[in-house]
């Protein structure tokens, strides 16, 4: 099952959010093989929060970047392996699988990775060194040999080589002397055990021995373990009993979970390690190996209420675009494969989404119909905008029936949640529904804010012009403007930043940076064409 994200434009309005929300409902019904997730590319304005609260719905989750990151390729914990476990346990993992790196825990937290390089280093050292010395613990020796401790010594852990009981006692004693207190492994022979006890080796392991020997170990300061496993296998297992923690070796630098895919790939390629840990702040969250970077992932995305890269979620150029559902002019992104596009000259993307329900023979439930109706009414300003078509009116009537909402009453409720511009934060009012357009060499940004009064607009216009200039500078715009629409009177005012083309605007200038636009309600159909005409 693939995750497919449905996103509206940046600084989304109600039509953008409601169409993403409802289209995800439809797609999840008609395509259960995939998971469709509605998302928003920007933070919610206070107005959007109030309007969605009226719908008793959660706004789509926040996803402002679809550029592949470490989070999209990292691996999690597949094996529950702890630092004090014997190396023997890790060998069994490698016997059935071929991991390049295995996370190791201590006190419930991951402390690093055991890599294939550390594994090979351990194996080579054991076989290349004459009489290697091991860091041993009684606990792990008992564990790997499945033995019984019949006498516990003073030391729980110690460094020691290994000696097997040999045919001649003198050779056995000589080996103990030369190897400086080794662990001895032998089948029970009293004279051999006497020598090991006398020489106070740290541990005696009696192999192929089921019973507790009739022997007095009271003077012995080491540990005695019995096991039913034969001597050769017991020796092999004890060699593999050192704690994993002591064999992990050097750890590479960690990657941050939000580092880009390219950063992670380059960092790992330039390091000497097979794997690197991934952290989120101070918390270990996963790891990456070189296999993680064999193929660059791509988010699967459906665009609603827009089709231009400049208006879309960041990183859209790296994504796999599957569909476009929109009602704006086409200035589409390039795609590698043919895609489904439903672009219609209607007043709301939610109208198009409703008709998608109709085409697929799916009736929206009451809640989804309410969300769709809200999107239609907000984008067409209760069907008063000049962008409104008969198709929108038919959709609104059908959604009114399905949701049980009266069109006029519900529309007024939605707009009654609009905060007066004089009380709104300028940045929120400007960016809550802000779109960027490119025409030739001019980069233009137009925001739209719907209200129920122009009261005192000339008093607060200067601070809005100042904030528009800040937004323009931050976004690299040549010209920025805010269209303030009175939804009751059906007219707008235009607040603009200083620009040489202001004089060409076909509107009456009422104050510095403020223009009157009677009977203008649509940014797309009425304002934008006039602004673009000033470029010619």
Joined tokens for residue 224: 């005695």
- Residue 493 makes CB contacts below 8 A (sequence gap 6+) with 454, 457, 483, 484, 510, 514, 515, 516, 517
Joined tokens for residue 327: 């009602």
Of 465, 472, 466, 533, nearest in space to 505 by CA: 533
Contact status, residue 488 vs residue 452, Cβ threshold 8 Å: yes
Say how far apart CA 261 and CA 257 lie, in whole Å.
Answer: 10
Count of CA atoms in the C-beta half-sphere (13 A) of 197: 16
Contact status, residue 451 vs residue 46, Cβ threshold 8 Å: no
Report angle CA 237, 238, 241 to the nearest 5 degrees.
90
For residue 339, CA distances in Å to 10, 25, 29, 106, 233 come to: 22, 20, 20, 49, 63
Q: Specify the 3-state DSSP secondary structure of 321.
A: strand
| Chain mean position to CA 196 | 59
pLDDT for the residue 455:
83
Count of CA atoms in the C-beta half-sphere (13 A) of 355: 17
Of 386, 477, 373, 491, nearest in space to 430 by CA: 477
Burial 376-396 (b: 16+ CB within 10 A, else e): bbbbbbbbebbbbbebbbebb
What are the average pLDDT values for consecutive 10-residue runs of the chain, which has 536 residues?
Answer: 94 94 98 97 86 93 95 90 92 84 89 83 78 93 95 94 86 88 92 93 92 90 95 94 89 92 94 91 91 94 94 93 93 85 96 98 97 96 92 97 96 83 84 84 89 84 92 92 88 93 92 92 88 86
In the chain, DSSP finds a helix count (H) and a strand count (E) of 16, 24
Does pTM surpass 0.95? Answer: no
Beta strand pairing call for 320-326 and 300-304: parallel
Tokens 């006190």 belong to residue: 107
Beta strand pairing call for 491-496 and 514-517: antiparallel
Say how far apart CA 506 and CA 528 lie, in whole Å.
Answer: 12
Residues in the chain: 536
Contact status, residue 205 vs residue 228, Cβ threshold 8 Å: no
pLDDT for the residue 340:
95
**Phi, then psi, of 113 in degrees rounded to 5:** -115, 140
pLDDT for the residue 393:
97
Of 308, 306, 145, nearest in space to 233 by CA: 145
What's the Rg (C-alpha) of the chain?
Answer: 36
Beta strand pairing call for 300-304 and 283-289: unpaired
Long-range contacts of 95-100 (CB under 8 A, 24+ apart): 99/289, 100/274, 100/275, 100/289, 100/290, 100/291
Report angle CA 183, 187, 192 to the nearest 5 degrees.
65
pLDDT for the residue 454:
85
Say how far apart CA 262 and CA 2 lie, in whole Å.
Answer: 22
pLDDT for the residue 191:
93
**Phi, then psi, of 297 in degrees rounded to 5:** -75, 165
The DSSP result for 129-193, as a single string, is SSS--EEEEHHHHHHHHT-EEEE--S-SEEEE-EEE--SSHHHHHHHHHHTTS-EEEE---HHHH
């Amino acid at each position: 099952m693939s995750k497919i994200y449905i996103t509206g434009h940046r600084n989304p309005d109600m039509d953008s959010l409601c169409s993403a929300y409802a289209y995800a409902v439809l797609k999840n019904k008609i395509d259960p093989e995939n998971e469709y997730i509605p998302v928003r590319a920007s933070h919610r304005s206070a107005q959007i929060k109030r309007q969605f609260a009226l719908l008793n719905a959660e706004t789509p989750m926040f996803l402002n970047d679809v550029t592949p990151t470490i989070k999209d390729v990292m691996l999690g914990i597949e094996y529950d392996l702890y630092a004090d476990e014997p190396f023997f346990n890790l060998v069994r993992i490698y016997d059935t699988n071929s991991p390049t790196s295995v996370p190791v825990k201590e006190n419930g937290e991951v402390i690093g990775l055991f890599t294939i390089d550390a594994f090979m280093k351990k194996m080579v050292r054991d076989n290349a060194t004459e009489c290697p010395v091991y860091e041993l613990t009684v606990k792990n020796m008992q564990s790997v040999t499945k033995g019984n401790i019949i006498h516990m010594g003073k030391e729980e852990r110690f460094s020691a080589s290994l000696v097997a009981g040999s045919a001649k006692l003198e050779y056995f004693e000589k080996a103990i002397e030369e190897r400086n207190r080794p662990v001895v492994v032998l089948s029970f022979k009293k004279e051999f055990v006497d020598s090991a006890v006398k020489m106070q080796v740290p541990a005696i392991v009696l192999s192929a021995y089921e019973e507790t020997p009739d022997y007095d170990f009271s003077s012995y300061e080491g540990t005695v373990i019995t096991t039913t496993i034969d001597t050769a296998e017991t020796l092999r297992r004890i060699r593999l009993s050192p704690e994993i923690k002591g064999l992990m070796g050097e750890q590479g630098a960690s990657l941050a979970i939000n580092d880009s895919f390219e950063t992670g790939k380059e960092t790992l390629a330039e390091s000497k390690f097979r794997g690197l840990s991934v952290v989120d702040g101070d918390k270990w969250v996963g790891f990456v190996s070189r296999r993680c970077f064999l193929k660059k992932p791509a988010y699967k995305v459906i665009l609603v209420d827009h089709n231009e890269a400049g208006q879309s979620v960041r990183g859209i150029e790296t994504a796999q675009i599957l569909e476009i559902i929109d009602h704006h002019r086409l200035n589409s992104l390039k795609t590698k494969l043919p895609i489904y596009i439903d672009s219609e000259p209607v007043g709301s993307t939610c109208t198009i989404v409703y008709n998608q329900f109709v085409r697929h023979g799916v009736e929206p439930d009451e809640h989804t119909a309410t969300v769709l109706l809200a999107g239609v009414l907000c984008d067409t300003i209760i069907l008063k905008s000049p962008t409104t078509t008969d198709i929108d009116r038919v959709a609104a009537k059908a959604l009114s029936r399905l949701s049980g909402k009266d069109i006029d009453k519900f529309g007024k409720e939605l707009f009654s949640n609009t905060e007066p511009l004089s009380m709104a934060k300028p940045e929120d009012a400007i960016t809550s529904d802000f779109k960027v357009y490119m025409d030739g060499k001019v980069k233009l940004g137009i925001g739209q804010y719907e209200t129920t009064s122009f009261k005192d607009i000339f008093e607060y216009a200067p601070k809005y012009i100042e904030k528009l200039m800040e937004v323009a500078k931050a976004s690299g715009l040549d010209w920025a403007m805010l269209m303030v629409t009175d939804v009751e009177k059906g007219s707008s005012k235009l607040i603009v930043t200083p620009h040489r083309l202001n004089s060409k605007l076909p509107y009456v200038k009422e104050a510095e940076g403020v223009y009157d636009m009677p009977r203008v309600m649509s940014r797309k159909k009425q304002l934008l064409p006039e602004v673009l005409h000033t470029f010619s």
